[in-house]
Amino acid sequence: MMKKIILIAGAILSLMSHSALSEVAVKRSTSIQWLHAVSANRPAEPDTQGLSRVYVNDSSSWGATNCRADAADIQNGDSAILELLKIAISSNSIVTIEVDDSLPTRHGVCKITAVWIK
């Protein structure tokens, strides 16, 4: 019985520590340098399939995350966000981008979860 309690307590602490380590960060007042869209079928790099990489002009950090500073990824299925990013790049608008480092990354590039355009 004691072993079960210890295992359950360990699992709860593990989940709590993971959520304490993850960070949602916002990068404000940046513009889009360029977009790199990847097809849904890219045999050369299958883990990039269906993503678009957004490169930003601001190289400051994404807050307290371990995210790569100059870029963030977006799922191509997130059409509303992609549309705003296209508008931002074509009009050289300032955007605010939210990333979440608890989501899977590729080479330290975090996923975009929200975008605002000014």
Q: How far is CA 47 from CA 24, 105, 118, in A?
A: 23, 10, 32
pLDDT of the residue at 46? 75
pLDDT of the residue at 99? 93
Q: How far is CA 92 from CA 25, 45, 113, in A?
A: 22, 30, 21
Q: How far is CA 16 from CA 3, 90, 103, 110, in A?
A: 20, 42, 16, 21
Residue 9 has pLDDT above 50, yes or no: no
Averaged pLDDT, 23-51: 83
Digit-coded pLDDT (tens) for 68-89: 999 999 999 999 999 999 999 9
State the CB neighbour count (10 A cutoff) for residue 31. 14
pLDDT of the residue at 1? 57
Q: Which two tokens stand for residue 20?
A: 């304490």
In total, the chain counts a number of residues equal to 118
